[in-house]
């Protein structure tokens, strides 16, 4: 439980024109832990996710992965699944790329995974546009799990869903963590969602992490004014 799975050390990222997007960001995600990242829009949350996955220009500092192939669950379940392919094809693709299993083993794994995220094997024969937003997000989670990744980054993964579906997907995240011991790095602007799901929380403002700690600690005894404002805005007080 205490072994780190991701370590971000003193990370600085800036795009062109010298504007610093991330400013000396450091934190750790441990095995089987969910770390939440909150902050208002434009504070650099998504850039941090990209930097972790090597998709943003890192100026200084480093990102150390202790697991192979971290995966991502995206915000918009309508663009994260290839509309031209059946769910079965989409789920099989990562296994084909990695050439790990033979045909029967792949099939077995796909069926196991689609059931694990609460959909039947019949879904393998459907196209993404035949699914609802919640079902698509379940498929996206199954896809992220296909390569047995131990770290999954979820960037606003439930923000596009309505509240009841949101709750179901959050329960799915919890169930998967229980069953598979996966770590999540969960980015959200919704403090209630983060409270429900995360063990540890980082508060980001203008590219800096201004407060970090266990969820109870940050939510019940916030040190920073900014954190208090965020909590207040989310309707969480004391």
Smallest CA-to-CA distance from 41 within 132, 179, 211, 155 is with 155
State in angstroms the smallest separation of the CB of 53 from other proteins: 6
Angstrom distance (rounded) from CA 27 to CA 168:
29
Angstrom distance (rounded) from CA 211 to CA 193:
18
Closer of 80 and 183 to other proteins (Cβ): 80
Closer of 140 and 187 to other proteins (Cβ): 140
Angstrom distance (rounded) from CA 219 to CA 139:
32
State in angstroms the smallest separation of the CB of 143 from other proteins: 7
State in angstroms the smallest separation of the CB of 80 from other proteins: 4
Angstrom distance (rounded) from CA 212 to CA 70:
23
**Residues 137, 157: contact at Cβ < 8 Å?**
yes
State in angstroms the smallest separation of the CB of 43 from other proteins: 21
What is the chain's Cα-based Rg? Answer: 18
Closer of 85 and 196 to other proteins (Cβ): 85
- Contact residues toward other proteins (CB under 8 A) are 53, 55, 69-72, 74, 76, 79-85, 90, 93-94, 97-98, 140, 143, 146-147
Closer of 180 and 212 to other proteins (Cβ): 180
State in angstroms the smallest separation of the CB of 218 from other proteins: 30
Angstrom distance (rounded) from CA 176 to CA 181:
7
Closer of 80 and 227 to other proteins (Cβ): 80
State in angstroms the smallest separation of the CB of 211 from other proteins: 30
State in angstroms the smallest separation of the CB of 96 from other proteins: 9
Angstrom distance (rounded) from CA 187 to CA 158:
10
CB neighbours of 170 closer than 8 A, spacing ≥ 6? Answer: 158, 193, 196, 197
Smallest CA-to-CA distance from 141 within 107, 101, 85, 180 is with 180
Angstrom distance (rounded) from CA 235 to CA 233:
5
């Amino acid at each position: 439980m205490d072994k780190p799975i991701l370590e971000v050390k003193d990370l600085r990222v800036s795009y062109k024109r010298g504007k610093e997007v991330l400013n000396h960001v450091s934190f750790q995600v441990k095995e089987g832990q969910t770390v939440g990242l909150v902050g208002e829009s434009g504070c650099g949350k998504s850039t941090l996710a990209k930097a972790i996955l090597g998709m943003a220009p890192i100026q200084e500092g480093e990102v150390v992965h202790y697991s192979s192939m971290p995966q991502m669950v995206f915000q918009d379940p309508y663009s994260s699944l290839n509309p031209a392919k059946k769910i079965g094809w989409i789920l099989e693709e990562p296994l084909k790329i990695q050439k790990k299993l033979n045909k029967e083993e792949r099939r077995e794994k796909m069926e196991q995974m689609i059931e694990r995220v609460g959909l039947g094997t019949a879904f393998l024969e459907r196209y993404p546009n035949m699914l609802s937003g919640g079902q698509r997000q379940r498929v996206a989670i199954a896809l992220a799990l296909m390569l047995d990744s131990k770290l999954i980054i979820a960037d606003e993964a439930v923000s596009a869903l309505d509240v009841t579906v949101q709750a179901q997907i959050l329960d799915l995240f919890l169930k998967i963590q229980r069953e598979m011991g996966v770590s999540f790095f969960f980015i959200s602007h919704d403090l209630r969602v983060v409270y429900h799901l995360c063990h540890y929380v980082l508060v980001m403002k203008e590219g800096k992490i201004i407060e970090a700690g266990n969820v109870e600690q940050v939510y019940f005894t916030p040190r920073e004014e900014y954190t208090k404002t965020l909590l207040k805005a989310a309707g969480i007080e004391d």
